[in-house]
């Protein structure tokens, strides 16, 4: 059996990326052992080239996909669990009063289930899941599904991996293409997207302090957005499953629950295609969203108009530079810089000073 990470990034001889770097049924030990990878060297450790190279290798191994998992996609729960387990510790990730971006990358939809506070006897990780017996048999044959070593879609008996919710899964249509997932969740047991949004809002508002009114985060989703993307990625999965000796399961799905969260957080949320051959436009779109968020400043009261405003930048050395009125717009109480290059030129030590005539409380 192939084990460990030594040949994961550098296969040799007849080894392949499937046998050495992807967690498979034959090799399920490919992991860096570092669930959270810090980009800052620990105290007393030199951040030299050897440390940087190890950092890169750990990240690459962590990012390597697997083929031996059971396909439970719980991205929304993952974020909430990170906050619950990590954000009150020394490794807290989110900073007070910063702009936060949450980016979901997934070729499946979210399956986060409400977990009972006290799980009853017999409760398993896949309680609440069902599987589509007919489609699994069509892909793999009856023995691989209902035989002694099958995944078992029956609700009878305690040895079934799936089946507590259903023996079939609902169909879904994207761009005229209809497909049926091989494994699915009981929709009534899913955490509502609005609940996830409320918990994220509360966390960021509490992080920023009592005066905070804006949770100040955005969500972007990289997922299959078209029927062609879903079919292309699913066919690649079938090939991968066959190569590593795993059962074929239809699992690729548009991440509608992730997209729904993004829309609840902001009307200008992004849903980007994971199957794109060139990620430059995707990264650029996310970067532009960051710039847009960093370009908006909320004033305590709406101004009467830009003609009544003086905007300047105070630099660390005490010098000031004026900002021309053509470089910004006003929308309600929001001051928005319209020149992206100007926003990118600002440094962390710069301060924005705004002198303006505010409207009276009744808006006059």
Asked if residues 94 and 100 have their Cβ atoms less than 8 Å apart, the reply is yes
Residue 46: per-residue pLDDT: 84
Specify whether the backbone of 31 is left (phi greater than 0), alpha (psi in -120 to 50) or beta: beta
- At residue 355, φ and ψ (nearest 5 deg) are -110, 125
Is the pLDDT assigned to residue 2 strictly greater than 80? no
Asked if residues 242 and 248 have their Cβ atoms less than 8 Å apart, the reply is yes
Residue 1: per-residue pLDDT: 45
Is the pLDDT assigned to residue 248 strictly greater than 50? yes
Residue 57 in tokens? 């290798």
Residue 298 in tokens? 């909320």
How far is Cα 323 from Cα 307, in angstroms, rounded to an integer? Answer: 13
Is the pLDDT assigned to residue 286 strictly greater than 90? yes
What would the DSSP string read from start to end of 232-298? HHHHHHHHHHHHTTPPP-------HHHHHHHHHH-TT-EEEETT-S--HHHHHHHHHHHHHHHTEEE
- 239: Cα separation from own chain's centroid: 25
Residue 3: per-residue pLDDT: 54
Kindly tell me the burial class for residue 38, based on how many C-beta atoms sit within 10 Å of its own C-beta (0-12, 13-18, 19 or more).
exposed
Is the pLDDT assigned to residue 156 strictly greater than 50? yes
**Domain ranges (residues) in the chain:** 1-69, 71-293, 296-356
Residue 130: per-residue pLDDT: 83
More confident residue, 159 or 123: 123
pLDDT digits (tens, 9 = 90+) for 324-333: 888 888 888 8
Closest CA to 172 of 235, 232, 111, 252: 252
β-bridge mates for residue 347, sequence order: none
Find the DSSP H helices in 64-141.
75-86, 133-140
Find the DSSP H helices in 27-176.
49-63, 75-86, 133-140, 142-146
Closest CA to 145 of 129, 132, 127, 158: 132
How far is Cα 266 from Cα 336, in angstroms, rounded to an integer? Answer: 17
Place of tokens 């899913």: 190
pLDDT digits (tens, 9 = 90+) for 32-72: 667 677 778 888 888 888 888 888 878 877 776 655 555 67
More confident residue, 267 or 358: 267
Residue 303: per-residue pLDDT: 84
Average pLDDT, the chain: 84
**pLDDT mean over 340-361:** 82
Residue 314 in tokens? 């105070």
**pLDDT mean over 312-328:** 90
Residue 11: per-residue pLDDT: 73
Is the pLDDT assigned to residue 26 strictly greater than 60? no
How far is Cα 236 from Cα 242, in angstroms, rounded to an integer? Answer: 10
Query: Which whole-number Å values give the CA distances from 100 to 3, 59, 94, 277, in the listed order?
Result: 38, 21, 7, 27
Whether the predicted model's global pTM rises above the 0.85 cut: no
pLDDT digits (tens, 9 = 90+) for 84-135: 999 988 888 899 988 999 999 999 999 999 988 898 887 877 888 888 888 9
**Among residues of the chain, what percentage have pLDDT more than 90?**
37
**pLDDT mean over 247-262:** 95
């Amino acid at each position: 059996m192939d084990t460990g990470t030594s040949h994961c990034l550098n296969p040799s001889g007849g080894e392949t990326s499937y046998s050495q770097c992807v967690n498979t049924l034959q090799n399920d030990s490919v992991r860096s052992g570092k669930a959270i990878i810090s980009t800052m060297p620990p105290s007393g450790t030199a951040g030299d080239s050897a440390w940087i190279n190890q950092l890169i290798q750990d990240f690459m191994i962590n990012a390597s996909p697997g083929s031996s998992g059971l396909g439970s996609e719980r991205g929304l729960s993952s974020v909430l669990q990170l906050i619950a387990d990590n954000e009150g510790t020394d490794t807290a990730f989110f900073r007070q009063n910063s702009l936060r971006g949450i980016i979901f990358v997934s070729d499946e939809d979210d399956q986060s289930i409400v977990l009972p506070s006290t799980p009853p006897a017999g409760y398993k990780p896949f309680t609440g899941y069902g599987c589509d017996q007919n489609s699994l048999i069509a892909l793999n044959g009856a023995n691989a599904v209902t035989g002694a070593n099958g995944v078992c879609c029956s609700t009878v008996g305690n040895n079934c991996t799936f089946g507590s919710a259903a023996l079939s899964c609902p169909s879904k249509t994207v761009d005229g293409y209809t497909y049926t997932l091989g494994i699915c969740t009981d929709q009534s047991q899913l955490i509502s997207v609005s609940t996830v949004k409320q918990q994220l809002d509360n966390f960021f508002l509490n992080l920023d302090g009592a005066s905070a009114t804006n949770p100040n985060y955005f969500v972007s989703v990289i997922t299959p957005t078209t029927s062609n993307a879903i079919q292309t990625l699913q066919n690649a999965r079938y090939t991968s499953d066959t190569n590593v000796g795993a059962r074929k399961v239809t699992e690729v799905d548009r991440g509608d629950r992730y997209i729904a969260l993004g829309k609840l957080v902001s009307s200008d949320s992004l849903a980007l295609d994971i199957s794109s051959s060139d990620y430059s436009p995707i990264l650029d779109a996310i970067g532009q969203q960051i710039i847009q968020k960093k370009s908006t400043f909320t004033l305590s009261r709406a101004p009467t108009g830009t003609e009544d405003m003086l905007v300047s930048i105070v630099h660390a050395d005490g010098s000031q530079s004026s900002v021309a009125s053509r470089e910004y717009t006003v929308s309600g109480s929001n001051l928005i810089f319209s020149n992206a290059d100007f926003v990118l030129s600002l440094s962390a030590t710069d301060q924005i000073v705004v002198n303006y005539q505010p409207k009276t409380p009744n808006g006059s």
